[in-house]
Amino acid sequence: MKARLAVLAVAVVAAAGCGPAKLRSTVDGTPPPRVMAEFWVEPERGRDLYHGPWGARNAPGAETIFKFKDSTSGGFSPKWDITDPSGREWGVKMGAEAQAEVTASRILWGVGYHQPPNYFLPRARVDNGSQVQHIGPGRFRPSLPELDEKGPWAWRENPFVDTPQYRGLLVLLMMLNSTDLKDDNNSLYELQRPREGARRWYVVRDVGSSLGDTGWTPNRNDIEAFEKAPFVTGIEGGYVTFEDKGRHTSLLERLRPEDVVWTCERLQRLTPRQWRDAFRAGGYDEATTERYLRSLREKIEQGLAFKTGTAGGRR
């Protein structure tokens, strides 16, 4: 019995010393503009949040008959690999995350964060070799020669930690209840030629676990859950506290009121058309879109209240 208690005590001490790694910048000082452009750029006014950063020319055809290549069932969403008649390869994510991922991606891009191409189709036709079947709804992501994915990048070790843009991104993800902040959901891309100010992009790519609530197994794409979930719950020791109940809350420990303001000011610049286009891109109907927009406007107002010191919550 004593031996087992000793082993347990060692395990507890070891676990206590295995907390999350500290944030570490991979550059000295503030990233210069050319480096910051790999992560975020000031967006030009009027970005098209319906077709997104890669435009209508790269969207999948609604009447296209794709050919089946492979499928995977690991993770939350089933995924298919297919090709179109031109030979272009597509990755399709189906299920509850499909709509949310496209809309969240559009909002991220709308405020300046790089995004890969992705599009929503309510259904598509796929030839599996023996018959043509219907799949969907799905998020369709084309493989483009000018965009080469090199692998993931780490939230805790990159050139941008402790910049307003980095902290503002975390705030934005909390606003969208996108709390699956695994490094594997991030992608580093190399581009054939400069685009949006850089030839290398640090991208938060897999954002389908959004627009629901938070937790270890959150509801995705769930307007009722989204409406009920709080955003900022207060301030403790000068840092903002969030409702997030996910697995990666330690990333949020050093976010300040000014970081919330930074994000909300940029969201406030999006036009009503851009907001509606972002949700239209994800295939949301008008009634559901209005409910999401009402909740997001409330979060923006709550965030901007930090400018005047009228934000509610613990202090």
Is residue 121 within 8 A of residue 62, CB to CB? The reply is yes
Task: Report the pLDDT value the prediction gives residue 55, as an integer from 0 to 100.
Answer: 98
Average pLDDT value over all residues in the chain = 91
pLDDT for residue 299 is more than 60: yes
pLDDT for residue 195 is more than 80: yes
Task: Report the pLDDT value the prediction gives residue 308, as an integer from 0 to 100.
Answer: 80
Q: What is the DSSP letter of 268?
A: H
Q: Which of 30-34, 71-75, 276-280 has the lowest mean pLDDT?
A: 71-75
Q: Mapping DSSP to helix (H, G, I), strand (E, B) and coil, where does residue 91 land? A: strand
Task: Report the pLDDT value the prediction gives residue 310, as an integer from 0 to 100.
Answer: 65
Query: Considering just the CA atoms, what is the radius of gyration of the chain in Å?
Result: 21
Task: Report the pLDDT value the prediction gives residue 20, as an integer from 0 to 100.
Answer: 58
Q: How would residue 12 be classed by pLDDT, with cut points 50, 70 and 90?
A: very low
What's 184-222 look like in SS3?
HHEEEEEEEEEECCEEEEEEECCCCCCCCCCCCCCCCCC
Task: Report the pLDDT value the prediction gives residue 75, as an integer from 0 to 100.
Answer: 73
Task: Report the pLDDT value the prediction gives residue 18, as an integer from 0 to 100.
Answer: 45
Task: Report the pLDDT value the prediction gives residue 19, as an integer from 0 to 100.
Answer: 52
Higher pLDDT, 198 or 180: 198
pLDDT for residue 142 is more than 80: yes
Other CB atoms within 10 A of residue 222 CB: 17
Task: Report the pLDDT value the prediction gives residue 52, as an integer from 0 to 100.
Answer: 98
Domain boundary assignment for the chain: 27-307
Instruction: State mean pLDDT over 23-50.
Output: 94
Is residue 224 within 8 A of residue 305, CB to CB? The reply is no
The amino acid sitting at 187 is S
pLDDT for residue 315 is more than 50: no
pLDDT for residue 5 is more than 60: no
Instruction: State mean pLDDT over 105-127.
Output: 98
Model confidence over 52-89: pLDDT tens digits? 999 999 999 999 999 999 988 777 888 999 999 999 99
Tokens coding 272: 């009503």
Helix residue spans in the chain (DSSP H)? 2-16, 33-36, 97-110, 164-175, 223-228, 257-268, 272-281, 286-304
Nearest-5° Cα angle at 119, 118 to 120: 140
Instruction: State mean pLDDT over 87-116.
Output: 98
Task: Report the pLDDT value the prediction gives residue 77, as an integer from 0 to 100.
Answer: 86
pLDDT for residue 170 is more than 80: yes
Q: Which of 24-33, 54-63, 305-314 has the lowest mean pLDDT?
A: 305-314
Task: Report the pLDDT value the prediction gives residue 62, as an integer from 0 to 100.
Answer: 94
Of the candidates 114, 113, 204, the residue with the CA atom closest to the CA atom of residue 164: 113
Higher pLDDT, 55 or 12: 55
What pairs with residue 65 in β-bridges? 125
pLDDT for residue 6 is more than 90: no
Model confidence over 212-269: pLDDT tens digits? 998 788 889 999 999 999 999 999 999 999 987 767 888 999 999 999 999 999 999 9
